[in-house]
Structure 1
Amino acid sequence: MHCDGASSGNPGRSGIGVVINLSGENAKEHEKKKEYRLSEYIGIATNNVAEYSALIRGLEKARSLGLKKIKIFLDSELLVRQMNGIYKVKNKNLMPLWIKANNILKEFDDHEIIHVRREMNKEADLLATGAVKKAALL
């Protein structure tokens, strides 16, 4: 699963993008669809709130699909380090999001959160920035 959040301004109009690719055991259970994409405008938020929101929405979708194991790819080094317990969450606005994401992760049998360069997260980024641009036109 690839997730990304985007914000035009910090805080500013924000959106999220999620791409869930089903493979292996997960793909067998979902024969009809091999990929799920989410692109949503989330209102005015900081970039970090948008990043966490993308992760949470992605986890909720993965859970609703019945996935038990998940690899999560994020281009936010801060988010990866916080979720992996390397950094503490110091921002009081991020703490409830961190708690929610961790609570959902507990429902999976296995998970891995991996930092990737921005170029490796392009599809999720396009969905997130697309949601922001679409909202700006309304």
Structure 2
Amino acid sequence: MSTLSVYCDGGARGNPGPAAWGFVVKKNGTLKKEAAGFIGVATNNVAEYTALVEALKWLSQNFKAYDLNIYLDSQLVVLQMAGRYKVKNAKLRELIFKVRSLEANFGKISYRHIERAKNKEADRLVNIALNGAT
């Protein structure tokens, strides 16, 4: 089975503040999709999870049953998805439920923490969405 690399990022200017998400999908190093969106006033964590949800929604329509390596610069999200950190916030629990529902469309999924410098493409999309909305 083929594996896709998915880079997700979310950000808020202020916490909470104007927030946006972005994701990049690559197959064997070739860009398959990049997308971003503005979500209004939200926290950084909500923006990070929204990026993950939006990526999985798009992937479930275009690359169902693939294995996924998902890269995020939010260590909190990676550890929560691994079940190592509890999720107390109701909004985050709602977003995690959406993620878990979408995960059923794929093979093996690996969540990996990366340095912000290695997530530049997704971060760039977040800033474009924020700049266009504010």
Deviations 1:82-136 (A, max 9, x none): 0111111111221100111111112211110000010010110110121011101
**What is the CA–CA distance in structure 2 between the aligned matches of 1:46 and 1:15, rounded to whole Å?**
10
**Structure showing greater relative contact order (alpha-carbon pairs closer than 8 Å, 6 or more residues apart):** 1
2:103 partner amino acid: L
Q: Within the alignment, does 1:61 sit opposite 2:66 as a pair?
A: no
Question: Which of these residues, 81, 94, 97, is aligned with residue 96 of structure 1?
Answer: 94
Counterparts of 1:115-134 in structure 2, within 5 Å, are 115-134=113-132
Aligned to 2:37: 40
**What is the CA–CA distance in structure 2 between the aligned matches of 1:106 and 1:23, rounded to whole Å?**
23
Number of corresponding residues: 128
TM-score normalized with structure 2 length? 0.90
Aligned to 1:106: 104
TM-score normalized with structure 1 length? 0.88
- Unmatched tracts of structure 2, length 5 or more: 1-5
Question: Which of these residues, 70, 84, 87, is aligned with residue 86 of structure 1?
Answer: 84
Percent identity of equivalent pairs: 40
Aligned to 1:7: 12
Aligned to 2:75: 77
Aligned to 2:48: 51
Question: Which of these residues, 18, 21, 36, is aligned with residue 23 of structure 2?
Answer: 18
**What is the CA–CA distance in structure 2 between the aligned matches of 1:23 and 1:111, rounded to whole Å?**
16
**What is the CA–CA distance in structure 1 between the aligned matches of 2:39 and 2:102, rounded to whole Å?**
20
1:80 partner amino acid: V
User: Runs ≥4 in structure 1, deviation > 2 angstroms?
Assistant: none
